[in-house]
Amino acid sequence: MSTTASEALFARAQQVSPGGVNSPVRAFRAVGGTPRFMKSGAGAWLTDADDNRYVDLVGSWGPMLLGHAHPEVIEAVTAAAARGTSFGTPAEPEVLLAEEIVARTPVERVRMVSSGTEATMSAIRLARGFTGRDRIVKFSGCYHGHVDALLAEAGSGVVTLGIPGTPGVPAHVTADTIVLPYNDPAAVDAAFAEYGDQIACVITEAAAGNMGVVPPHPGFNEHLSRTCAAHGALFITDEVMTGFRAARSGYWEIDGQVEGWQPDLMTFGKVMGGGFPAAAFGGRADVMDLLAPVGPVYQAGTLSGNPVATTAGLTTLRLATPEVYERLSATSSQVQHLVSEALAEAGVAHTLQTAGTMFSIFWGVAEPVADFAGAQAQDTAAYTAFFHAMLDAGVYLPPSAYEAWFLSAAHDPDVDSEPLSRLAEALPGAARA
């Protein structure tokens, strides 16, 4: 497989951008080698600058629920762009997208932003404004974007690159951040026993997906919800990754809706932007109405609710019917089965974990992974060898062992379909790598 065009682009990129990238994990630092510069995508496939084709299992890190360049999404976006790309006024598409989110999830009001980072940052500001308290609780291994106060013991690129803390975040900014082990209700109880009347909110990924996929133990999120309610704190579930992906509404549908609890605030991103920069936070009307212009908590954005981005998101969600989630679930099971079988045959110890249609594999780990310490026990070197063997065989996996694998409705669950047959062919060799 020739990579000369990607190598040339990477060399030029490093002259003008730090590390040659605009988001760290893309640089392949953890796995080595040349990042592939993609020039097009269609359905389940990506094509790089050297015209190599890959079955894509990253899906732009989650947004591409329907696959790349879905014809109806492209048509809607093209028509929206032709009408004008940004007005700086309210417009119909953002209302329709907000209505769709309100219909699918327990939130009553939505405020649009442009990235998941903005969504969590704004949700925390709102929780602090609502409660008049400063402390916040997060869990180690959960990633909520590069918000100063939330970078403590974060997953995703922070763990991939082994960054212990982040220079540039003053100690006083994280002084109010209490970091607890995931899936540990006793640690939550202890923190509330000590600081209960000072805690503005608990924020958690609805199901952790940024240390690999680590679903909450049954009752864990419910415990957080009840504990927050008992102490006058707000419960924020971050569904930037899981929203409209793990299931039709998000992970809440599998968890809260079944167990009978609701978050006070939620954050969304990825799928709701249909591949464009669109994200949102939402929740209880009485809390959301504290935002400017109704209330005093300030939050704003030049491109928030952008008509092209919200059209992409709205079209994606309208096409994401229950059948799409059924198909995604079938494909996800099929790929899990193929990978597990190949690894077992090659004698590679591994643990596969799921959260709705999402899944990831922990290399060299034989026990279920419940928290960040468990996730970090994995054999990342073994994953690196597997990653490169798959890449060489034309299967594009996340360039880090700490990330979920993302499929799309364009991946056919039939093993004989073109994307899955390539995957199945690549697996035995990669598993032995």
Query: Which residues have a catalytic role annotated?
Result: 143, 238, 270
Q: Which stretch binds ligand PMP (CB under 6 A): 47-55, 115-123, 245-253, 323-331?
A: 115-123
- Under rule CB under 6 A, which residues in 275-334 are in contact with ligand PMP? 279
**Which C-beta is closer to ligand PMP: that of 179 or that of 423?**
179
Contact call for residues 40 and 382 (beta carbons, < 8 A): no
Gap between the Cα atoms of 204 and 361, Å rounded: 21
Contact call for residues 311 and 269 (beta carbons, < 8 A): no
Our finding on whether 144 is near ligand PMP (CB under 6 A) is yes
Q: Which residue is nearest to ligand PMP (CB)?
A: 116
Our finding on whether 205 is near ligand PMP (CB under 6 A) is yes
Residue with tokens 């690999």: 212
Contact call for residues 407 and 337 (beta carbons, < 8 A): no
**Which C-beta is closer to ligand PMP: that of 91 or that of 279?**
279
Gap between the Cα atoms of 243 and 269, Å rounded: 7
- Judged on CB neighbours under 10 Å (0-12, 13-18, 19+), 170 is exposed
Number of residues interacting with ligand PMP: please give it, by CB under 6 A: 16
| Residue among 10, 54, 143, 276 that touches ligand PMP (CB under 6 A) | 143
| Residue among 52, 122, 156, 351 that touches ligand PMP (CB under 6 A) | 156
Inter-axis angle of helices 307-319 and 92-104, nearest 10: 40
**Which C-beta is closer to ligand PMP: that of 27 or that of 423?**
27
Contact call for residues 367 and 353 (beta carbons, < 8 A): no
Least spacing, CB of residue 192 vs ligand PMP, in Å: 23
Gap between the Cα atoms of 433 and 418, Å rounded: 23
Strands 38-42 and 45-48: antiparallel
Least spacing, CB of residue 296 vs ligand PMP, in Å: 25
- Under rule CB under 6 A, which residues in 240-259 are in contact with ligand PMP? 240-241
Our finding on whether 269 is near ligand PMP (CB under 6 A) is yes
Gap between the Cα atoms of 398 and 243, Å rounded: 19
- Under rule CB under 6 A, which residues in 337-396 are in contact with ligand PMP? none
Interacting residue ranges for ligand PMP, rule: CB under 6 A: 61, 115-117, 120, 143-145, 156, 205, 210, 238, 240-241, 269, 279
